[in-house]
Structure 1
Amino acid sequence: MGKFLDLRTSENSNTTGFPNTALTSATVIGVIGLQTGNVANPIVGLNSYVVVSAAAGSTVTANVLRGGVTIYTAIRAFASSNAAADIALAAADLAAPAAAQTVYQLVLSGTPAPGEGTGVTRIGPESFWGIAQNGAVPATPA
């Protein structure tokens, strides 16, 4: 059985309608630093919830980074125009290093449909959270 190590949350917006900005380039939505106490091979679960509005034909890419390296990517394509959509993800980092703290980032980028200008708007809420546990199996006594 695993042992709880840490849980962290980064909430950029807790309300609908904020920040109400165009997603025109790669944007950091949340940053968390999980305290893992130098445990070898921790199991890390990462989740996010972001709401955007997008024109038909637009896409949103969500990347989770560990130390600047992408460890998870999800892409959402929009079929209907200007519909609010939840971008929810659940990722796992099973290759996290043994470290005192491991930093994760959620980065979103939007690609507008041809002729749609910005195409994607962040309309909130926006939240990113993670949990770490020691995944080691205890030795069985002889």
Structure 2
Amino acid sequence: MNSPTLYLDDMAYAIQLALAPVFLLTGIAGMLNVMAGRLARIIDRGRRVAESPEITAADIAGPLSTELAGLERRRHLASAAITACTLSALLVCTVVATLFLEVLLKLNFKILLGILFTCATFALVVGLAYFLREVHLATMTVRIQTSRSK
């Protein structure tokens, strides 16, 4: 028969194991916040360019067309980064839940836990790669004037 102390020890161990993935969730949440902010700025800039009353059809067909295409590419990359990082967070939550189920049901989920955590890490890497590409595109298209015309 299981003693209550043994059960509490098992739960304490499960909580200790779950702490690392929970800290990972905090980091992912911070990254998602940054990515969502960048996506909002990209969308705002795209709307400002496309809906400006001073812009004519010739402007949109010309140089602004290039800017809008770049903004659309950046929007797609930021959205993909958010999707991959959100998937990573969901997988980490599944890891935490599986850890507790393993203790509660006294089952061996080591292989499942390994697969879930590996998938979570891979999804995070993919999300960060998309984010890096979006940042790279943004820095390549920024125009900073180093001298002022008088």
Q: What's the TM-score, normalizing by structure 2?
A: 0.25
Query: Looking at both structures, which has the greater relative contact order when contacts are Cα pairs under 8 Å and sequence separation is at least 6?
Result: 1
Q: Which structure has the greater CA radius of gyration? A: 2
From the two aligned structures, give the one with the greater helix fraction.
2
Q: What's the TM-score, normalizing by structure 1?
A: 0.26
